[in-house]
Copies of this chain bind each other. A is one copy, B any other.
Amino acid sequence: MEKSYQELCKRTAELIDLGTAGAVLGWDQQVYMPPGGAEARGRAIATIAKLMHETLIDPRNGVLLEKLAPMEKTKGYDSDEASIIRLARRGYEKAVKVPPEFTSRMNVLQSECFDIWLKARPANDYALVQPTLDKLFGMCREYADFFPGYEHPLDPLMDNHDYGMKASEIRRIFTGLRKELVPLVESITACEPADDSFLRMNYDDAMQLDFGKRVVSDFGYDFNRGRQDMAAHPFTIGISINDVRITTRVHPEYLGSALFGTMHEAGHAMYEQGGDPKYDATVLKGGTSIGVHESQSRLWENIIGRSKPFWEHYYPGLKKEFPKQLGKVPLDKFYKGINKVQKSLIRVEADEVTYNLHVMLRFDFECDLLTEKLSVAELPDAWNDRMEADMGIRPPTDADGVLQDIHWYNGIVGYFQGYALGNIMSAQFYDAAVKKHPGIPAEIAEGKFSTLHSWLVENIHRHGCKYTANELLERTTGGGLDIGPYMKYLKTKYGELYDL
User: A6 near B: Cβ within 8 Å?
Assistant: no
Is A37 touching B225 in the complex (CB atoms < 8 A)? yes
The answer, yes or no, to whether A39 is at the interface (CB within 8 Å) is yes
- Cα distance A48–B51 when bound, in Å? 11
A-B pairs with beta carbons under 8 Å apart, 7 shown: A14-B47, A24-B24, A32-B227, A36-B226, A40-B240, A40-B242, A43-B281
B20, B24, B32, B37: the one contacting A240 at CB < 8 Å is B37
Partner of A20, one of B34, B41, B241, B242: B41
A21 touches B48 (CB 8 A): yes
Report if A500 contacts B (CB, 8 A).
no
- The minimal Cβ–Cβ distance linking A161 to chain B, given in whole angstroms, is 24
Range of interface residues on A (Cβ < 8 Å): 35 or more
**Any B CB within 8 A of the CB of A28:** yes
Task: Tell whether, in the assembled complex, residue B227 and residue A40 are in contact, meaning their CB atoms are under 8 Å apart.
Answer: no
Interface string of A156-188 (1 = CB under 8 A from B): 000000000000000000000000000000000
Chain B contacts for A431, CB-based, 8 A: none
Which residues of chain A have a CB within 8 Å of any CB of chain B? 13-14, 17-18, 20-22, 24-25, 27-28, 32-37, 39-41, 43-44, 46-48, 51, 222-227, 229, 239-243, 245, 280-281
What is the CA–CA distance of A476 and B149 in the complex, to the nearest angstrom?
70
Additional A-B contact list (11), CB under 8 Å, known A21-B22, A21-B24, A32-B229: A18-B47, A18-B51, A20-B25, A21-B21, A21-B44, A21-B48, A28-B28, A35-B224, A39-B240, A40-B240, A40-B281
Q: Kindly list the 4 A-B residue pairs having the minimum CB-CB distance in the complex, ordered from nearest.
A: A40-B240, A37-B243, A36-B242, A36-B225
Identify the closest chain B residue to A227 (Cβ).
B34
Find A40's partner among B32, B43, B222, B280 (CB 8 Å cutoff). B280
Residue of B nearest to A40 (CB): B240
Q: Does A34 contact B240, Cβ atoms closer than 8 Å?
A: no
Given contacts A20-B41, A28-B28, A47-B18, contact A224 B13 (CB under 8 A): no
